[in-house]
Chain A
C-alpha cells in the first residue's frame, strides 16, 4: 500500500513537471506580445521593450523555463500583470471561495446522487427508478447556466431566501452549489444505479441472502462497497473539476472564484496568473486521480494486490 502511494506520487510529480513545461511553451508560442496587450495599443515601443526586458521575456526560452521552475519551487508565481498583486495572494483568495463552493456542491450532489442511484438500482425499472432517473437525466442535460439562473430567479429574486450574488455568508453558497451539484448529482445517480444494479446480480449477493441478510443489509453491507469503485472515480473527477473553478456558476452569481480568475487571466493575457491557474488545475486533477487510485485500493483488496 505504501509502495503504491509512493509510486503514484512519483508519477504525479513527473506529470506535473511535464504539464508545467507544456503550459510554459504553449503560452509563449501563441502570437502577440503580452506586454503590448497589457499596455494597450498606444504604448510606445521603447517602453514595451523595457518592460519586456524587465520581466525577462526577451531571454532564450530554456533560460526562462529554468527560472520559471525555480520560482515555482520557491512558491513564487510572480506578480499579475493586470492586477499588480502577487499571484499567490490572488489565487489564495479565490481558492477559498471555490473550495467552499466545491464542498457544498459535492455534499449536495453526492448525497442526492447516491440516494437516487441506490433507490433506482434496488427498485430497477419500477416507479422510484423511473422518477429518479427522469430527474437525473434532467440534471445531466440541463445546462448549468440555465439551472443557475432559474434558481437565482426563484429563490433569490422572488422568494428572497438566499442572496442574489456575492460570497458574503454561507447562505450565498447554497444556490450556486445546487446549480453546480444538480448536474453532478445526475451523473452520480446514473453511475451508481448501473454499477449497483450490476453488483446486485452477482452470485455473492445470493449467498448473502441465503445466509439470512435482508434487502437493506444486502445492499448496504454487501453490494454498495463493490459498486462504489466506478462511482468514486466519477466523484473524484467531479470534485477536482469543481476545485479548479466553475466559470459559469461563478459568473452568474458574481462570485470571486478560481474560474473567474482564470477567465480574467486569459482575456488579459496575464501570463503569470494564467500559468499559475493552469498549473493549479493540473495539480488538482493529478492529485485527484492519485486519491481515486488510493481509495479504490482501500475499497478493493484485489487492486491492492495487483499494485
Chain B
C-alpha cells in the first residue's frame, strides 16, 4: 500500500465518489456462494447472492436471524471463519475483483478500503486497550503515519463522529464508555482510513432508540460525504429510515430486491410481505402480534423447490418442483417467486 491517507480531511464533504469512474459500483457481488462444512454436513449459508452498492448509496440487507446476512458481510471482507470458503461468485470493489486475492492483499484492503462495524459495541472493542490506541491502530496499519500524526488524526476522527471531550476519551477504556459512544468509536475506527465501503452489521441493535437515531444520522452524514454503506439489519424500521435500496434475504438467498419505497409500498414476495406486516403490527402495537408462521429452515435440510414454501400461504404445486429464479418485475425490482 502506498501512503495516501495521512492528510486530514472532512469525511462529510463530497469527494470519495469522484475518485471512481462514473458508473462503477463501489461493491458488486455476483453469484456469491459460501460453503461451510459442519459436523452434520456442508451448509451453504450464502447461496448465489448478487448485490451492488453504488457510490454514496446506503443499501440494506434484511432478513430473520440466521439467514446469512453476517456471513455475506464476512465473505465480502474475506473473513469467513475456517473451514468455510467461497466456492463460487465474485466480489468486486470499485471494479477490482477481491474474492480471489491472497490473504496479504486482502489484509491491505481490510480497514482501509472496506471496513466493518458490528452489533455489540461493547464486545467489539478490545477491553484491555485504550480506545484511542485502537482507532489509531487502524490508521497505522495502513499508512506510515508517525505516532504524533496518528494521534492528531484519531482526535480529528473522534470529533467527526461527535464524541464529546475527545482528548479525554482517547485515553479511556471501552468499559468507561456508554454503548452509543463505543459505537461512535467503532465508526471512527472504521472510517479513519476513509474506506470506499462501510459494512454495518446490525449497528444499532444493541442500542436504545434515541442513540439508534443518532447513529443512523451519523451514517447518513457519512453517505453524504460519498461513503457507500451496506447496512445489515433485521429491523425494517431502521432500513426504512436510511436505505436507498433493500435486499430481502432468506436461508442464504436473495428473495427480493427493490428500492426502499417500492418494497414498502408494494412488496411482492410473500416473505417480504410477512416481514412488513410483522413490523407494522409491532410498531402499532396491534394484538395479536402478526408473525410469519413457522421458523427459519435448517440449512442442512432445505425443502425442495422454493425454500420459503413450507411457510408460504400462496404456495402451489409448482413451488415444490423447482427453486424459482430471481425475476425482473420492473427496473431495479426483482423477486424470487413464481407469482
Are these two chains actual partners, yes or no?
A: yes
Q: Which of B17-25, B115-123, B245-253, B306-314 is the interface stretch?
A: B115-123
Q: Cβ of B176: which chain A residues have Cβ within 8 Å of it?
A: 305
The answer, among B115, B126, B129, B142, for a CB contact under 8 Å with A210, is B115
Q: Per-residue 0/1 for A190-218: is the Cβ within 8 Å of any B Cβ (1 yes, 0 no)?
A: 00000000000011101111111110000
In the assembled complex, the Cα of A206 lies from the Cα of B107 at a distance in Å of 13
A203 to B175, CA, bound (A): 15
* Pairwise interchain contact A301-B124, C-beta atoms closer than 8 A: no
- Expressed in whole angstroms, the Cα–Cα distance for A305 and B141 within the complex equals 30
Q: B124 near A212 (CB under 8 angstroms)?
A: no
Closest-by-CB residue of B relative to A126 is B82
Contacts of A206 in B (CB 8 A): 79, 118, 124
The reply to whether the CB of B111 lies closer than 8 angstroms to some CB of chain A is yes
* Given A209-B79, A210-B77, A210-B115, A204 contacting B110 (CB threshold 8 A): no
B175 touches A302 (CB 8 A): yes
Chain A contacts for B137, CB-based, 8 A: 211, 213
Contacts of B165 in A (CB 8 A): none
Q: Of all chain A residues, which has the CB nearest B77?
A: A210
Chain A contacts of B186 at CB under 8 A?
Answer: 207
Residues of chain B within 8 A of A212, CB atoms compared: 107-112, 138, 141-142
Q: Is residue A300 contacting chain B, with contact meaning CB distance below 8 A?
A: yes
Contact size range, A: 20 to 34
B127–A207 touching, CB < 8 Å: no
Q: A203-B118, A203-B120 are in contact. Are A211 and B189 (CB under 8 A)?
A: yes
Q: How large is the interface on B (under 10, 10 to 19, 20 to 34, 35 or more residues)?
A: 20 to 34
Asked if B118 and A207 sit within 8 Å, CB to CB, the answer is yes
Q: Does A226 contact B (CB under 8 A)?
A: yes
Question: Which 4 residue pairs are nearest across A and B when measured between Cβ atoms?
Answer: A211-B111, A212-B111, A203-B123, A211-B138
Q: Is the CB of B110 within 8 A of A222?
A: no
* Contact yes or no, A204 B142, CB < 8 A: no
Would you give the shortest CB distance from B24 to chain A, in whole angstroms? 23
B107–A203 touching, CB < 8 Å: no
A204–B115 contact, CB under 8 A?
no
How distant is the Cα of A226 from the Cα of B125 in the complex, in angstroms?
12
Question: Across the interface, do B115 and A211 meet the contact criterion of CB distance under 8 Å?
Answer: yes
- Does B128 belong to the interface (CB within 8 Å)? yes
Distance in Å from the Cβ of A195 to the closest Cβ of chain B?
Answer: 13
Contact A302-B112, Cβ < 8 Å, known A211-B141, A226-B126: no
The residue on B at minimum CB distance from A208 is B126
| Contact, CB under 8 Å: B123 / A202 | yes
Among the listed B111, B112, B127, B138, which residue makes an inter-chain contact with A204, where contact means beta carbons less than 8 Å apart? B127
* Interchain CA distance A305-B173 in the complex, whole Å: 11
Given A225-B128, A226-B127, are A211 and B110 neighbors across the interface (CB < 8 Å)? yes
**What residues of B have a CB within 8 angstroms of the CB of A202 in the complex?**
123
B-facing residues in A272-307 (Cβ within 8 Å): 299-302, 305
Q: Are A302 and B118 in contact (CB under 8 A)?
A: no
Task: Chain B residues near A207: list those with CB within 8 A.
Answer: 118, 124-126, 186, 189
The B36-88 residues at the A interface (CB cut-off 8 A) are 77, 79
22 A-B pairs with CB atoms under 8 Å apart are A203-B124, A204-B123, A204-B125, A204-B126, A204-B127, A207-B118, A209-B110, A210-B77, A210-B79, A210-B116, A211-B110, A211-B137, A211-B138, A212-B108, A212-B110, A213-B137, A213-B141, A214-B103, A225-B129, A301-B127, A301-B173, A302-B175
Q: Which residue of chain B has the shortest Cβ distance to A229 in the bound complex?
A: B128
Q: Mark B135-149, 1 if CB is under 8 A from A, else 0.
A: 001100110000000
Q: Which of chain A's residues have a CB closer than 8 A to the CB of B127?
A: 204, 226, 300-302
Q: Report the bound CA distance from A225 to B126 in whole Å.
A: 10
Q: What is the minimal beta-carbon distance from A207 to any residue of chain B, in angstroms?
A: 5
Knowing A206-B79, A207-B118, A214-B107 are in contact, say whether A301-B128 is a contact too (CB < 8 A).
Answer: yes
A301 touches B175 (CB 8 A): yes
In the complex, A302 Cα to B128 Cα: how many Å?
8
B140 to nearest A CB, angstroms? 10
B141 neighbours in A (Cβ, 8 Å):
211-213
Q: Which residues of B contact A213 (CB under 8 A)?
A: 107, 137, 141
Give Cα A199–Cα B82 distance, bound, in whole angstroms: 16
Minimum CB distance partner of B173 in chain A = A301
Looking at A211, A225, A299, the one whose CB has the most chain B CB atoms below 10 A away is A211
Q: Is B173's CB under 8 angstroms from A302's CB?
A: yes
B103: nearest chain-A partner, CB-CB: A214
Contacts of B125 in A (CB 8 A): 204, 207
Cβ of A209: which chain B residues have Cβ within 8 Å of it? 79, 110
Mark B169-194 against chain A: 1 for CB-CB distance below 8 A, else 0. Answer: 00001011000000000100110000
